[in-house]
A and B are shown apart, each in its own frame.
Chain A
Amino acid sequence: MVSPPPSRPFPTRDAEPVALPVTPRPRVSIEGAVIADRIYRVAILGFALCVPILLLLIFVEVGVAGWPALRQFGVHFLTSSTWDPVNGEFGAAPAILGTLLTSLIALVIATPLALGGAVFLSEFSPVWLRRPVSFLIDLLAAVPSVVYGLWGVFYLIPALRSTVIPFLRDTLHLGATPFFSGPAYGPSVLAAGLILAIMVLPYIAAVSREVLMAVPRSQREAALALGATRWETITGAVVPYARTGILGGVILGLGRALGETMAVTMLIGNRHELSASLLAPGYTMASLIANEFSEATSDLHLSALMAVGFVLFVLTLLVNAIARWLVWRVGGAEARA
């Protein structure tokens, strides 16, 4: 027989009816254990409830702080492009559009790279190469935002000015289009979009790789057996199977891009005007808050910034919820684990 742990009472209920000489001790410990178990359960339930409570608290606190501005300006807060702290007029349209534009640039650049890389790593890569390359791409997510910003200011912007913009304008003749016209000082929507592309790439790549690796082998074998080439196997059998999950990964990347703050603040130029040119400075919601919050001149200004934060919060909440739902749906129980 297995003996109970030394120096501990034997607290199972089965022990009770046995006519042992010393019964009170185990009885006490049973009750003690029941109470302790109950305390333990309540405690971990309490910790678990911290998560929804925290989200609710953020929603309420930021929402309440932003309410005066939202009430005063109503829909105009989202549609007006006047941001005038001196006269107390606040419209966040340039920041909202700037957020969407930079995120769009980021996704357009990052998605093909991340997806292509993920396909290579899951389908074609030699096994010995898979782990180190995945690791290097994952490491991109570990680089702090402020370091991206620093690198962007001193490397990316000069590189854009000296090489990329002349190439776009003189070699590709895109200067005539409104997107690349106008003076290029340095900080710009394009620079912010590029840095965001690098920053969201690891998220899209990681999720895509995982869902691609989860596609059953039989799916590939069936396509190959029908005479498909390796590439046709990918486009015809593997990617369609993983489509929902990949979309989830891209939307997850979008969520990251929308809320990214420091690097964008350092690169976008922080100007309350929306220009068609990607080479002009702009604003995003996150960089607007980061830039003006500590210098808010009035209560209304502060409230307007809080309202911007609230809009950003709700937007990323929706985007993340959709992304998670997609990733979970495709991965089923496995991805949830």
Chain B
Amino acid sequence: MSTAIAPRGFAPRPRVRGLARRRGTSIVMVTLTCIAAALAVVPLIVILAYLLKQGAGSLDLHFFTRMPKPPGETGGGMANAIVGTLILIGIASVVGLPVGVGAGLYLAEQRGSRLANAVRFLADVLNGLPSIVMGIFAWQFLVRPFGHFSALAGGAALGAMMIPLVTRTTEEMVRTVPQSLREAALALGYPRWRTSLQIVLRTAAGGIVTGVLVAVARIAGETAPLLFTAIGNNFWSTNVTQPISALPLQIFSYATGPYDDWHAQAWAGALVLIAMVLVISVLARFVTRARHGGGHD
């Protein structure tokens, strides 16, 4: 019975009754994994559908061009918050991109060295840092000493959150550049720095752009790092040393507020924010697919 490997004809015969049950179990379990996959997709669809239903009704041109109205008055928009988010993304990119790309180049060129392994590990750990911790750190480091909230502090906190993502994508993409290309440049007498920046980095640019887009999509929706740094602003402000509004902040304060009109505005804001994030994510996906034949998930 138990010697299934014995060469006496085919052994499974004695277990035929068991086999039917085993096959049944297999079919049931395979179906269950299929259901699990379907269930995993359901939340996204439900959330997006509800968001569209709620947000589309309160979204109009005024939302993009008007300022928030005082509590109790209807109408108004989030023009300042949209511009604020763009400014914050700009500051974050100025802070996060050079560091991320530079660190990624280092990791790719010094692969195998103990320091590179440590930095790679810590970048992954930094990637999992709770955004609220980044928020209180930025407050302690960039707000408290200066005595006032500012867009700069908020942008820097977001930029710090970009660093690990950009670092790891840059490293991955630089590694896909063939060694022969690097050698060809060096053989032509290019200095190493020129080879790295003008040949290798330029070749990997498409993939790095994808990584940057993913990072931007992630920080665009971050609220917690901004709560105590950019803090929000009900007025038009493009001064980076002053508090500034941002879409996620505005959504948060409207969603937790008491007025129906605020809730409607929050939905419209969420729709705009998620449209931004999804467009960037999908864009990033297609940039990658075009370059790597879709092999990169």
Q: How many residues of B contact A (CB 8 A)?
A: 105
Q: Which A residues are in CB contact (< 8 Å) with B277?
A: 142-144
| Of A17-25, A85-93, A108-116, A177-185, the one touching chain B | A108-116
* Chain B residues with CB below 8 A from A258, complex form: 130
Please encode chain B, from 184 to 205, with 1 for each CB lying within 8 Å of some chain A CB and 0 for all others. Answer: 0001111111101100000000
- Residues of chain A within 8 A (CB-CB) of B44 are 136-137, 139-140, 143
Q: Kindly list chain A residues whose C-beta atoms are within 8 Å of the C-beta of B43.
A: 140, 198, 201
Chain A 57-96, CB-CB to B under 8 Å as 1, else 0, gives 1100110010000000000000000000000000000000
Question: Looking at the complex, which of A42-50, A161-169, A215-223, A272-280 is the stretch in contact with chain B?
Answer: A42-50
CB distance B294 to A229 under 8 Å?
Answer: no
Q: Which of B4, B51, B255 contacts A227 (CB 8 A)?
A: B4
The residues in A between 278 and 333 inclusive whose CB is less than 8 angstroms from any CB of B are 286, 289-290, 293-294, 305-306, 309, 312-313, 316-317, 319-321, 323-324, 328
Least CB separation from B256: chain A residue: A266
Find out whether the CB atom of A147 lies under 8 angstroms from the CB atom of B224. no
Would A262 and B191 be within 8 Å (CB), given that A40-B196, A47-B102, A144-B273 are in contact?
no
Whether A231 and B25, one on each chain, are in contact in the complex, defined by CB atoms closer than 8 angstroms, is yes
Tell yes or no: B208 within 8 A of A by CB.
no
Kindly identify, within residues 108 to 138 of chain B, every residue whose CB is under 8 Å from any CB belonging to chain A.
109, 115-137
Which of chain A's residues have a CB closer than 8 A to the CB of B45?
136
Distance (whole angstroms) from the CB of B112 to the closest CB of chain A: 9
The distance in angstroms between the C-alpha atoms of A235 and B100, with both chains bound, is 40
B130 near A316: Cβ-Cβ < 8 Å = yes
Q: Quick check: is B6 within 8 A (CB to CB) of the other chain? A: no
Q: B103 to A48, Cβ gap below 8 A?
A: yes
A112 touches B136 (CB 8 A): no
**Docked pose: A5 CA to B120 CA in angstroms:** 36
Q: Nearest Cβ in chain A — how far from B9, in angstroms?
A: 14
| A51 to B119 alpha-carbon distance, docked (Å) | 7
Tell me how far the C-beta of A331 lies from the nearest C-beta in chain B, rounded to whole angstroms. 12
Q: Which residues of A are found within 8 Å of B32, using beta-carbon distances?
A: 116
A154 to nearest B CB, angstroms?
Answer: 7
B30 touches A313 (CB 8 A): no
Closest A residue, CB atoms, query B124: A324
Do residues B228 and A48 form an inter-chain contact, with CB atoms below 8 A? no
Q: B125 touches which one: A49, A234, A317, A337 (CB < 8 A)? A: A317
Q: Does B167 contact A (CB under 8 A)?
A: yes
Within 8 A of A (CB), among B209-240: 217-218, 220-224, 227-228, 231
Q: Is the CB of B218 within 8 A of A294?
A: no
Chain B residue nearest to A54 in the complex (CB):
B160
Which of A61, A143, A293, A309 sits near B47, CB closer than 8 Å? Answer: A143
CB of A259 within 8 A of CB of B270, answer no
A230 to B34, CA, bound (A): 14
Q: Say yes or no for A173: interface residue by CB 8 A criterion.
A: no
Residue in contact with B274 in the complex, picked from A44, A45, A147, A266, CB distance below 8 Å: A147
Do B37 and A116 have beta carbons less than 8 Å apart? yes
Nearest A residue to B129, CB-CB: A316
Tell me if A133 and B41 are in contact (CB < 8 A): yes
B40 A205 Cβ-Cβ under 8 A: yes
- Candidate in B99, B137, B196, B281 with the most chain A CB atoms within 10 angstroms: B137
- Give every chain B residue within 8 A of A8 (Cβ-Cβ): 189
B133 touches A146 (CB 8 A): no
Report how far A227 CA is from B15 CA in the complex, Å.
Answer: 11
Does B130 contact A261, Cβ atoms closer than 8 Å? Answer: yes
**Pairwise interchain contact A154-B263, C-beta atoms closer than 8 A:** yes
Contact of B136 among A124, A145, A306 (CB under 8 A): A306
Within 8 Å of chain B (Cβ to Cβ): is A256? yes
Known interface pairs A133-B41, A261-B131; A47-B99 also in contact (CB < 8 Å): yes
Residues of B within 8 A of A290 (CB): 132, 135, 224, 227
Asked if B74 is at the interface of the complex by the 8 Å CB criterion, the answer is: no
A47-B102, A48-B119, A54-B160 are known contacts. Are A320 and B273 too (CB-CB below 8 A)?
no
Complex CA distance for A10 and B187, rounded to whole angstroms? 10
Min Cβ gap B114→A in Å is 13
Contact: B227 with A294, CB < 8 Å? yes
Which residues of B lie under 8 Å from residue A226 when comparing CB positions?
Answer: 4-5
Interface flag for B251 (CB, 8 Å):
yes
A230 pairs with B30, CB closer than 8 A:
yes
Q: Which listed residue, B36, B102, B218, touches A112 by the CB 8 Å rule? A: B36
Nearest CB of chain A from residue B34's CB, rounded to whole Å: 5
CA distance A50 to B108 in the complex (A): 16
A contact residues around B248 at 8 Å (CB)? 144, 146, 262
Whether B278 pairs with A51 at a CB distance below 8 angstroms is no
Contact B41 A137 (CB under 8 A): yes
B163 within 8 A of A: yes
The answer to whether B37 touches A133 (Cβ under 8 A) is yes
- When chains A and B are docked, how far (Å) is the Cα of A50 from the Cα of B167? 11
Provide a sorted-by-A list of 30 A–B residue pairs whose CB atoms are within 8 angstroms.
Answer: A2-B188, A4-B189, A10-B189, A44-B109, A47-B106, A51-B164, A52-B119, A54-B163, A55-B129, A58-B133, A113-B40, A124-B33, A136-B45, A145-B223, A146-B255, A147-B47, A147-B51, A151-B50, A154-B50, A154-B263, A209-B297, A229-B23, A232-B26, A252-B128, A255-B128, A262-B252, A290-B135, A293-B227, A294-B228, A317-B129
**Top 3 closest A-B pairs, CB basis?**
A259-B130, A144-B221, A116-B36
List 19 extra interface pairs beyond A33-B193, A61-B140, A312-B133, CB under 8 A: A8-B189, A48-B107, A51-B163, A117-B37, A119-B36, A123-B33, A133-B37, A133-B41, A136-B44, A140-B44, A142-B281, A143-B44, A145-B224, A146-B251, A151-B47, A155-B46, A209-B297, A266-B255, A289-B132
